[in-house]
């Protein structure tokens, strides 16, 4: 009478871009045992505290279980058919009267690639507008833009194994210990095995990551371009130019060096601009120059800036100059924030991209995508990026928006403006897994979505590794997959091309498009997963983690550019001239402090899932304002007491604390807390809406603020 041994389902963690493999074993009554997947290349069996607590986040408390539509000011439960008819009819009427650019989708790096693919196809190929953007705009769009400028495509050259093969890792604008914990554990293990392995941390804050650092450069916020232009100049002046590589595989070196030398040739001047000790700066420059195998990993501290794209290119320039790219143990490496920001990039989830890494402004690419889809039209100009999208909603130019798997009222900068926009918008559709979010309060139609453990599809992590997320729980209530809801609306709008039976068919179409006319004579591009075409439902279900590009035999690719061949038409990488410039808004007498935002170790985004796990809340139980004790004294606020932080855009209240390693003149506030608490703890209300002119990524790391007792 032995009971059957429960089967573990292999899936992937839904949190950060490390993309760890998870074994989930349902054991009855909704309980699920969670363990790391030994066979997954990203984590090899390890999980961080967030991943380990996934089983505590699966209760149906607070879940959105039924569709509802707003009538007479209140949301009332309706059938799926009624909700879908309302969306399709609303979108159709608005498009008929105001054109396709009057509607928009705002989606998320939490979506699976298949959801993302369908959303992008509907918007760009059938509605005919590129007004689909994603919350990934807020975390890695500067990396995307930097990659495209340097390499010709949004390509991450290396892989996690490179960290282990390196002799030095530089972590720039990344609290890796808290935000990419398993990668940090891998780096820690290297340091333990090889004490001579050097770790450099470049961050205005002395974060937990610094515990591993041989050298911490606490740069003044916003000065990364000075630092890396100075490094470029130092390398050139100290005989570190890989002349053969630069001549054979790059262009633009002289121009980039000229610009770097303009104000960054003197390390003393750079140290002054970056507000770091000259000897520490020179230690970094000497170490970088002397070490061939260097990985420079960067994250939101680089990307979330009005100069984010230039910061990315200033880093890449140093790797191009030394030829340290595409080879084991070296290269620039973008650490993606979300679990599937990369998958969204693959299918064109950003408003300035087409599917399969093709470009909206390339007629050949547009023709390729439209021809493959047999679509009635194709967007022919970039759509609105996230911040501009909500501005145009408030201005009345965009009249309908469908928000999927994200909470912009908490996560976008100038969040009060987002609220005004949604109040004004004629039709707000929200698809979510939870009922009571700040954004849902403004929905005209609210759709229940499947959550982690209930949905099936793929995600791609920071090292281009595609993994399956697999369902192991039944759909709660009437919740449906986002791809399904999108297809059903598309069909109601009269569009063919959305009759998918399951995510495997969507994935197959995505794989075929990535290889379609992908030849030197047609529309060549480096991204392709053509080797994954034609998978049956069963093969798709059994898909093992694989790094794209995937060749016809199904083999993945650990590194790109090993042969020096880049994705620009001429095969050469580009040095980009990155002139130094200050953040858009600088502190002044009224707002003398600089606000920096970021994550805490045990929470994720707006806490709709991690907030359910008591063991995660134990780490940090409420929002806080971290600041230097002398600044607290100066501004008359005390540790443990409530204070109000305000900028010219808005204000929020939290408790003051010290000890977060912030230098004088700065404050740090976490991004997770929302407006559902007693006092509105949304830091997004305070953050300035300045964006990078190329990537459109907001400047979350540099808002002038002031603070007072509450």
Give the sign of the dihedral formed by CA 159, CA 163, CA 169, CA 175: positive
The rounded distance, in Å, linking the Cα atoms of 660 and 631 is 13
For ligand SF4, the closer CB: 191 or 568: 191
CA distance from start to end of the chain: 64
For ligand SF4, the closer CB: 50 or 574: 50
Give the residue at shortest CB distance from ligand SF4: 51
Q: In this chain, which stretch among 42-50, 83-91, 157-165, 465-473 interacts with ligand SF4, using CB under 6 A?
A: 42-50
Can you tell me which residue has the tokens 């369908």?
A: 118
Number of residues that bind ligand SF4 (CB under 6 A): 14
Nearest distance from C-beta of residue 457 to ligand SF4, angstroms: 16
Nearest distance from C-beta of residue 604 to ligand SF4, angstroms: 7
Q: Which of these, 319, 298, 155, lies nearest to 253 by C-alpha position?
A: 319
Nearest distance from C-beta of residue 607 to ligand SF4, angstroms: 14
Residue from 11, 15, 68, 421 touching ligand SF4 (CB under 6 A): that is: 15
Nearest distance from C-beta of residue 372 to ligand SF4, angstroms: 33
Are the CB atoms for 615 and 350 separated by under 8 Å?
A: no
Q: In this chain, which stretch among 41-49, 80-88, 221-229, 252-260 interacts with ligand SF4, using CB under 6 A?
A: 41-49
Residue from 19, 222, 308, 666 touching ligand SF4 (CB under 6 A): that is: 19
For ligand SF4, the closer CB: 234 or 604: 604
For ligand SF4, the closer CB: 321 or 616: 616
Q: In this chain, which stretch among 10-18, 260-268, 590-598, 639-647 interacts with ligand SF4, using CB under 6 A?
A: 10-18
Task: Give me the count of residues in the chain.
Answer: 710
Subset of residues 90 to 119 that bind ligand SF4, contact rule: CB under 6 A: none
Nearest distance from C-beta of residue 13 to ligand SF4, angstroms: 3
Check residue 467 for interaction with ligand SF4 (CB under 6 A). Answer: no
Check residue 48 for interaction with ligand SF4 (CB under 6 A). Answer: yes
For ligand SF4, the closer CB: 40 or 504: 40
For ligand SF4, the closer CB: 12 or 307: 12
Subset of residues 50 to 89 that bind ligand SF4, contact rule: CB under 6 A: 50-51
Nearest distance from C-beta of residue 555 to ligand SF4, angstroms: 24
Q: Quick one: how far is CA 419 from the chain centroid?
A: 23
Are the CB atoms for 105 and 123 separated by under 8 Å?
A: yes
The rounded distance, in Å, linking the Cα atoms of 77 and 79 is 7
Nearest distance from C-beta of residue 615 to ligand SF4, angstroms: 14
The rounded distance, in Å, linking the Cα atoms of 260 and 576 is 10
Check residue 41 for interaction with ligand SF4 (CB under 6 A). Answer: no
Can you tell me which residue has the tokens 């002398």?
A: 630
For ligand SF4, the closer CB: 304 or 462: 462
Nearest distance from C-beta of residue 405 to ligand SF4, angstroms: 17
Tokens of residue 475, six digits:
């759909």
3-state secondary structure of 458: strand
Distances from the Cα of 79 to the Cα of 66, 83, 447, 450, angstroms: 8, 6, 10, 17
Subset of residues 20 to 39 that bind ligand SF4, contact rule: CB under 6 A: 20
The rounded distance, in Å, linking the Cα atoms of 401 and 418 is 12
Are the CB atoms for 489 and 185 separated by under 8 Å?
A: no
Are the CB atoms for 412 and 390 separated by under 8 Å?
A: yes
Residue from 23, 24, 34, 47 touching ligand SF4 (CB under 6 A): that is: 47
Q: How many helices (H) and strands (E) does the chain have?
A: 24, 26
Axis-axis angle for helices 80-98, 482-492 (nearest 10): 60
Q: In what order do the strands lie in the sheet with 215-217?
A: 215-217, 198-202, 168-172, 294-298, 331-334
Going by the DSSP 8-state scheme, the letter that residue 349 receives in this structure is -
The DSSP code sequence of 634-664 is: HHT--TTSEEEEE-SS-EEEEEEE--S-PPT
Tokens of residue 633, six digits:
């004294």
Subset of residues 174 to 203 that bind ligand SF4, contact rule: CB under 6 A: 180-182
Tokens of residue 32, six digits:
């699920």
Q: What is the pattern of x (binds ligand SF4, CB under 6 A) and - over residues 141-180?
A: ---------------------------------------x
Check residue 16 for interaction with ligand SF4 (CB under 6 A). Answer: yes
For ligand SF4, the closer CB: 54 or 656: 54
Check residue 43 for interaction with ligand SF4 (CB under 6 A). Answer: yes
Going by the DSSP 8-state scheme, the letter that residue 356 receives in this structure is G
Residue from 9, 10, 13, 422 touching ligand SF4 (CB under 6 A): that is: 13
Residues near ligand SF4 (CB under 6 A) are 13, 15-16, 18-20, 43, 47-48, 50-51, 180-182
């Amino acid at each position: 009478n032995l009971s059957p041994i429960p089967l573990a389902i292999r899936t992937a963690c839904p949190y950060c871009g490390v993309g760890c493999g998870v074994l989930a074993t349902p054991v009855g009554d909704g309980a699920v045992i969670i363990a790391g997947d030994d066979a997954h290349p990203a984590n090899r069996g390890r999980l961080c505290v967030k991943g380990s607590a996934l089983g505590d986040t699966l209760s149906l408390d607070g879940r959105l279980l039924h569709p509802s539509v707003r009538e007479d000011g209140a949301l009332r439960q309706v059938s799926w058919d009624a909700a879908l008819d309302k969306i399709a009819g609303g979108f159709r009427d608005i498009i008929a009267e105001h054109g396709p650019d009057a509607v928009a989708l705002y989606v998320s790096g939490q979506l699976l690639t298949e959801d993302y693919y369908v959303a992008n196809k509907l918007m760009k190929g059938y509605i005919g507008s590129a007004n689909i953007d994603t919350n990934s705009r807020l975390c890695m769009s500067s990396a995307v833009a930097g990659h495209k400028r340097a390499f010709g495509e949004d390509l991450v050259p290396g892989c996690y194994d490179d960290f282990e093969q390196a002799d030095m890792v530089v972590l720039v604008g990344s609290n890796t210990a808290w935000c990419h914990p398993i990668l940090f554990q891998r780096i820690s293990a290297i340091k333990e095995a090889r004490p001579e392995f050097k770790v450099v941390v470049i961050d205005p804050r002395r974060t937990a990551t610094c515990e591993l650092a041989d050298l911490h450069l606490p740069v003044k916020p916003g000065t990364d371009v000075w630092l890396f232009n100075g490094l470029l100049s130092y390398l050139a002046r100290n005989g570190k130019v890989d002349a053969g590589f630069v001549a054979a595989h790059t262009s633009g070196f002289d121009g980039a060096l000229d610009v770097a030398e303009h104000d960054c040739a003197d390390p003393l001047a750079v140290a002054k601009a970056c507000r770091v000790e000259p000897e520490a700066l020179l230690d970094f420059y000497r170490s970088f120059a002397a070490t061939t195998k260097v990985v420079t990993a960067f994250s939101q501290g680089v990307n979330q800036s009005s100069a984010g794209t230039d910061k990315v290119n200033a880093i890449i320039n140093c790797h191009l100059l030394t030829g340290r790219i595409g080879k084991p143990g070296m290269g620039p490496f973008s650490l993606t924030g979300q679990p599937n920001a990369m998958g969204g990039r693959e299918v064109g989830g950003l408003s300035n991209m087409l599917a399969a890494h093709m470009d909206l402004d390339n007629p050949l690419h547009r023709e390729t995508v439209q021809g493959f889809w047999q679509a009635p039209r194709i967007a022919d100009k970039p759509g609105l990026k996230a911040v501009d999208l909500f501005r145009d909603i408030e201005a009345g130019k965009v009249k309908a928006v469908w928000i999927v798997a994200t909470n912009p009222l908490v996560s976008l900068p100038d969040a009060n403006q987002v609220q005004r926009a949604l109040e004004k918008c004629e039709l707000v559709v929200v698809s979510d897994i939870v009922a009571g979010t700040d954004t849902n309060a403004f929905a005209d139609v609210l759709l229940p979505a499947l959550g982690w453990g209930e949905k099936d599809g793929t995600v791609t992590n920071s090292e281009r590794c595609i993994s399956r997320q697999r369902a192991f729980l039944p759909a709660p209530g009437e919740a449906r997959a986002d791809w399904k809801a999108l297809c059903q609306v598309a069909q109601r709008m009269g569009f063919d091309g959305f009759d998918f039976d399951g995510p495997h068919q969507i994935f197959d179409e995505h794989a075929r498009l990535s290889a379609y006319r992908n030849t030197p004579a047609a529309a060549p591009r480096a991204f392709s997963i053509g080797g994954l075409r034609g998978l049956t439902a069963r093969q798709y279900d059994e898909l093992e983690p694989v790094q794209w590009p995937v060749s016809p035999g199904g083999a993945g690719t650990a590194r790109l550019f090993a042969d020096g061949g880049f994705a620009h038409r001429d095969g050469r990488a580009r040095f980009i001239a990155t002139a130094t410039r200050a953040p858009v808004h600088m502190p002044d007498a009224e707002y003398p402090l600089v606000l920096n935002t970021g994550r805490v170790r045990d929470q994720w985004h707006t806490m709709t899932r991690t907030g359910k796990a008591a063991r995660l809340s134990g780490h940090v139980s409420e929002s806080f304002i971290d600041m230097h004790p002398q600044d607290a004294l100066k501004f008359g606020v005390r540790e443990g007491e409530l204070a109000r932080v305000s900028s010219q855009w808005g204000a929020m209240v939290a408790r003051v604390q010290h000890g977060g390693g912030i230098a004088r003149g700065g404050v740090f506030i976490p991004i997770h807390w929302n407006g559902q608490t007693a006092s509105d703890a949304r830091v997004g209300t305070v953050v300035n809406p300045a964006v990078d002119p190329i990537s459109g990524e907001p400047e979350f790391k540099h808002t002038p603020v002031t603070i007072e007792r509450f």
